[in-house]
Structure 1
Amino acid sequence: MLARIKSLIGRTGAKTSTPNFSVPSSETVTAPQEPSPLPHAEPPSVEFPLACLTPKLRSAAEVIVRKTQAPAALAAQSVLSVASLAVASRTQVQTLGSSANATAAFVTIARSGERKSAADKIARTGIDRVIMRLREEHKIAMGNHKAALSGLGRGDERPEAPVCPSFLVTEATIEGAFKAIATGCGFLGWFTDEAAAFWGGYSMSKDQRAKSSGVVSNLWDGAYFFRPRGSQDGDGYVPPTATTINLMFQPTLIRDTYGDEFLIGQGLLARMLPSWPESKMGKRKYRRPSPEDEAAAAHFHDAIEACLVATLEDPTERMLSLSEEALGVCIEFHDNIERELGPGGWAADISGFAAKAPEHACRLAAIMTCFEDREIDVISGDVMESACKMVKYYLSQHRYLCIAATNETDVAHAQTLLDWLRRNIAAGEGFATDRILQLGPVHTRRAKSLDRMLGILKQYGWINELPSGTTIDGKKRRKAYRLSPKA
């Protein structure tokens, strides 16, 4: 069987000088055209500006990249979201409008196997330690509470049961978020590497998505609201709750999120900093973590743990202001974007996100400033300049995702087929469809869907059709194709 597969696939990356096909004597081969990339079928080849992170956060992101070999953007998103929860949950930051929560929301898009869970696990270790310790303390407190109840006499006042502080939701539902808020921590972290359960679940169903989108937007805005319930006492008041969000999902959901006119128009996605990094899969050889990397990761875990404990213990809200230099940088950033929001500008079709870009920059600058030194209460011009550069990256990612979301699914599948062809067939070589139907990508195993993908590749010049009756590897074919010599 293995020999059969090897014979069908051929040598990966092999180049052929002699064509493996011959056309009937009465036919000619059409000259190949210059191939062009399939439109927005793959992530943009733009690296996250890791150098813009402040030293402590950059060091942590670089360690995660070395330990997991995940894309830099993926590591940066995890590190920034963890820092947002730990140090910015009780922080307000000056913006060009009114003050705002310093917390931020992130969306990370990556295929299965890209090591997003591994990166997030390393970044979140300090948070997990605090949660486990709180749960253990609550377990002891509940034991003491039960003992106290057993010793009560008739008519004695019953003490209230202790509440376990909860500030992290990993199952992305609105009800789960409100349950955590009700414990009274005053802030919330919404982290999941399986955000498909949110986008495709009950919370975002047809009847619920308007309400859910509004709730998440209100949390980001720092607004209070009311959720009266017949089964509960009171008016259902929910206080302003600084919320950090880090949602991770696969590219298959791009059309259902960034292609959804309601979500774009409502403003939910405009509040999230997106990243769709270029894949590193196929380029990662095993690398044993060095003692230095382990030590650096442990240092980050300790720092996050200490920051989060301080945030839990001290409910005092702090205010971060912009230095004159930082204010000037932010104003210039605002004005440059504002010019592009007009008709014909590059930001006109992503106006919701672009209009919030200055506030995104202020929030990122606050997170980086707080994590670097909790005693600083003024954002420097240099940090604001770095934050603006990061938001420029997010602007390009948001726009790219909105365009990619307009693609038909077949375009993404055609890209997968092209990748397979380039790996398994030499440039300029002929091939028949039976080879793909037997051994190609999953979505090419049906003749009708394969024909659609081949049509797309033909349209963009990656393959050209050979005459009927062409002989390939000694066998006449009714349908045959040639991979571009420039593939």
Structure 2
Amino acid sequence: MTHELPIRPTPLIKPLPDAPEVPLADLGPLADPIDAIRTLTQAPTALALQAVLTAISVAAQPHANVETILHPVPLSLFAFSIAESSSRKSAVDALATAPIREFERPRLSIYAKALAAFDEAQKSSARRGDFDAVIENAYDGSNAKSNTPPISPKVLFDDITYQGLVSHFANGQPSIGILSDEGGKIIGGHAMNSQNQTATSSALSSFWDGREINHTRSSTGSITLADRRVSMHLAIQPMVAQSFMSSELVRDQGILSRVLVAMPDTLKGTRFLIEDEETLETKARAHATLDAYNECITELLEAEPRTNAFDPLGLDPRTLTLEPPVRALLIDFYNVTEEAQGDGGPFTNISGFAGKAAEHAARIAGNLALFSNAEAMSVDVGSMRTAISLVNFYLEEAVRIFDTGSVSKTVRDAEFLRQWIVELRDDMYVDLTLINKCGPNRLRSSPENKKLINILVEYGWLIGMTDIVEIDGRRSRRAFRVVRS
């Protein structure tokens, strides 16, 4: 006998609404490189948007801050792209970051030789017992004498911890990008484990804000890192993203309000290859478009940023101003998003991100201004209009992902167990003993398993049995029949 329960089971996690379309027609100078990358990779437009926007911010952030309604802020941008495997994330990242990697490659080669020469000179001095001896600094090939190691020119990092950030900024150039097409290495790795999550998230938030970092080490004492810049783009799998973004600790720290998140619908099953004359001409035009994009990024990278007179590794960027018409646009946008955060408004449940929407718009507008003109001193109306259009897209995504799609850890675990029972096995019956012994590794012998079973019963995926049944060669008095829709 079985308990009376619904015949058809109910999904534990409701499907998300379709992803909003990227407003490509409104994106001004961004539209062409985004479309070119989309053409060459057949990736979702949103992935190309995220990659292009953050690559621009890596190149632009050392040169300028931008005025907002209240005060100047860095041009640094943080972005998450949530996408399944085989979404062409790597191909998109390779094209968007190509000019940065080309800029970085020869400088890293020179640095490696200079560092080796510096280390050898240090060892030579130690062997002579002359620990205060002045050594050659081979970094620029000159014969200048210095006890200071060469400055690391590394710009791009695909995996880094809080300690790694501090170490680089203590001895490396002051503007970097954390760009990874496998962001799970960071989100699910050492940088964001239970011991390091608070320090890493707090440091990233401070860098985004433009605040200084104070770090104390027993070996070297305290160090203050001011006027450094970090932009970030992590492409992450949906399950990793769901786990990270639903964490109460992460939400409380406020890091997510600083992140531009996109979760495009998959294009798998539609990416057919055609090599007719028209397609080849379209791809040739896309490559030409990216050549122009690469030149703009390279111009910003090769421009020497101003540095702080008191700290040669600290930046002293100029401030892009907002002329009255541009400021008026931003204030109008702020007021609209502020009203939408009120009780019952569309942004009530994403007020953290919505509260920073105007600042996000100013940052994006500042990046666009420099991308169009590396010598720009102010933000033009067109850049601000494009930025506001983009932030409206990100607000729509935030409502869809954080509000509509927010799922508790318990429900996620129940769905994980459901997939194991219903989709990966063919058992007619299961019980707690089977789950504790053979279930998914992270759920075996979990004290939460009874609760997870009850959730699956509630949603109709399991039906409690009153008869004794055989499971895995033994008799079970507390079994559940599996329902497969």
Q: Are the equivalent residues in 2 in contact too, given 1:41–1:411 (CA < 8 A)?
A: no
Give the structure 1 partner of residue 312 of structure 2: none
Alpha-carbon distance in 2 for matches of 1:457, 1:146: 65
The number of equivalent residue pairs is 409
Aligned: 1:186 with 2:179? no
Give the structure 2 partner of residue 60 of structure 1: 33
Q: What amino acid does structure 1 have at the position aligned with 2:386? A: S
Give the structure 1 partner of residue 342 of structure 2: 342
Q: Are the equivalent residues in 2 in contact too, given 1:52–1:387 (CA < 8 A)?
A: no
Alpha-carbon distance in 2 for matches of 1:205, 1:310: 37
Q: Pick from 234, 241, 253: which aligns with 1:266? A: 253
Distance 1:299 1:453, change over 3 A: farther
Distance 1:158 1:386, change over 3 A: closer
Per-residue deviation, 1:342: 2.0
Q: Are the equivalent residues in 2 in contact too, given 1:110–1:277 (CA < 8 A)?
A: yes
Question: What runs of 5+ residues in structure 1 fail to find an aligned partner?
Answer: 1-29, 418-435, 460-477, 483-487
Distance 1:405 1:481, change over 3 A: closer
Aligned: 1:370 with 2:358? no
Distance 1:481 1:382, change over 3 A: same
Q: What amino acid does structure 2 have at the position aligned with 1:106? A: A
Give the structure 2 partner of residue 390 of structure 1: 390
Aligned: 1:243 with 2:230? yes
Cα shift readout 1:107-130 (whole Å, capped 9, x = no counterpart): 110000001111011111111111
Q: Are the equivalent residues in 2 in contact too, given 1:74–1:116 (CA < 8 A)?
A: yes
Alpha-carbon distance in 2 for matches of 1:185, 1:323: 32
Q: Are the equivalent residues in 2 in contact too, given 1:86–1:311 (CA < 8 A)?
A: no
Report the 3-state secondary structure (helix = DSSP H, G, I; strand = E; otherwise coil) of the residue aligned with 2:111.
Answer: helix
Q: Are the equivalent residues in 1 in contact too, given 2:227–2:316 (CA < 8 A)?
A: no
Give the structure 2 partner of residue 49 of structure 1: 23
Q: What amino acid does structure 1 have at the position aligned with 2:323? A: S
Alpha-carbon distance in 2 for matches of 1:132, 1:375: 25
Per-residue deviation, 1:337: 1.4
TM-score, normalization: structure 2? 0.75
Distance 1:480 1:261, change over 3 A: closer
- Give the aligned CA root-mean-square deviation in angstroms: 3.6
Cα shift readout 1:137-196 (whole Å, capped 9, x = no counterpart): 113434654786799895553343423322322113222222222234222211112221
Alpha-carbon distance in 2 for matches of 1:240, 1:43: 41
Report the 3-state secondary structure (helix = DSSP H, G, I; strand = E; otherwise coil) of the residue aligned with 1:106.
Answer: strand
Give the structure 2 partner of residue 69 of structure 1: 42
Q: Which shows bigger deviation, 306-315 or 118-127? A: 306-315
Q: What amino acid does structure 2 have at the position aligned with 1:157? A: V
Give the structure 2 partner of residue 108 of structure 1: 81
Q: What amino acid does structure 1 have at the position aligned with 2:229? A: A
Per-residue deviation, 1:131: 1.5
Cα shift readout 1:22-59 (whole Å, capped 9, x = no counterpart): xxxxxxxx9x99x999965346331122223232x221
Distance 1:376 1:454, change over 3 A: same
Aligned: 1:214 with 2:202? yes
Per-residue deviation, 1:201: 2.2
Report the 3-state secondary structure (helix = DSSP H, G, I; strand = E; otherwise coil) of the residue aligned with 1:133.
Answer: helix
TM-score, normalization: structure 1? 0.74
Distance 1:212 1:445, change over 3 A: farther
Report the 3-state secondary structure (helix = DSSP H, G, I; strand = E; otherwise coil) of the residue aligned with 2:135.
Answer: coil
Q: Are the equivalent residues in 1 in contact too, given 2:79–2:259 (CA < 8 A)?
A: yes
Aligned 1:306-455 pairs, distance under 5 A = 306-311=299-304, 317-403=317-403, 404-406=405-407, 408-409=411-412, 443=424
Cα shift readout 1:460-487 (whole Å, capped 9, x = no counterpart): xxxxxxxxxxxxxxxxxx99988xxxxx
Report the 3-state secondary structure (helix = DSSP H, G, I; strand = E; otherwise coil) of the residue aligned with 2:65.
Answer: strand
Q: What amino acid does structure 2 have at the position aligned with 1:318? A: R
Q: Are the equivalent residues in 2 in contact too, given 1:53–1:368 (CA < 8 A)?
A: no
Aligned 1:58-97 pairs, distance under 5 A = 58-97=31-70
Aligned: 1:157 with 2:144? no
Distance 1:325 1:413, change over 3 A: farther
Per-residue deviation, 1:254: 3.1
Alpha-carbon distance in 1 for matches of 2:484, 2:161: 48
Cα shift readout 1:381-417 (whole Å, capped 9, x = no counterpart): 2321221121111112122222313163489789x99
Cα shift readout 1:409-447 (whole Å, capped 9, x = no counterpart): 489789x99xxxxxxxxxxxxxxxxxx99xx96x46666
Question: What runs of 5+ residues in structure 2 fail to find an aligned partner?
Answer: 1-5, 137-146, 308-314, 436-452, 462-480
Report the 3-state secondary structure (helix = DSSP H, G, I; strand = E; otherwise coil) of the residue aligned with 1:320.
Answer: strand
Distance 1:42 1:297, change over 3 A: same
Per-residue deviation, 1:293: 2.1
Q: Are the equivalent residues in 1 in contact too, given 2:306–2:316 (CA < 8 A)?
A: no
Alpha-carbon distance in 1 for matches of 2:104, 2:243: 33
Give the structure 2 partner of residue 14 of structure 1: none
Q: Which shows bigger deviation, 350-359 or 157-166? A: 157-166
Report the 3-state secondary structure (helix = DSSP H, G, I; strand = E; otherwise coil) of the residue aligned with 1:76.
Answer: helix
Alpha-carbon distance in 2 for matches of 1:376, 1:228: 38
Cα shift readout 1:320-363 (whole Å, capped 9, x = no counterpart): 11121111111111111111222222212111111100000000
Give the structure 2 partner of residue 177 of structure 1: 165
Give the structure 2 partner of residue 255 of structure 1: 242
Q: Which has the higher contact order (CA 8 A, sep 6+)?
A: 1
Alpha-carbon distance in 2 for matches of 1:326, 1:39: 42
Cα shift readout 1:231-275 (whole Å, capped 9, x = no counterpart): 114x21111312111111000123312211221222100000000
Alpha-carbon distance in 1 for matches of 2:331, 2:306: 36
Distance 1:344 1:444, change over 3 A: farther
Alpha-carbon distance in 2 for matches of 1:458, 1:65: 42
Distance 1:237 1:481, change over 3 A: closer
Q: Give the share of equivalent positions with the same residue, in percent.
A: 26
Alpha-carbon distance in 2 for matches of 1:274, 1:257: 13
Distance 1:413 1:372, change over 3 A: farther
Q: Are the equivalent residues in 1 in contact too, given 2:13–2:407 (CA < 8 A)?
A: no
Alpha-carbon distance in 2 for matches of 1:54, 1:172: 33
Alpha-carbon distance in 1 for matches of 2:124, 2:220: 30
Alpha-carbon distance in 2 for matches of 1:36, 1:326: 50
Report the 3-state secondary structure (helix = DSSP H, G, I; strand = E; otherwise coil) of the residue aligned with 1:124.
Answer: helix
Per-residue deviation, 1:102: 1.2
Aligned 1:449-468 pairs, distance under 5 A = none
Alpha-carbon distance in 2 for matches of 1:386, 1:37: 39
Distance 1:333 1:140, change over 3 A: same
Cα shift readout 1:263-308 (whole Å, capped 9, x = no counterpart): 1222100000000011111100124563222222233223322321
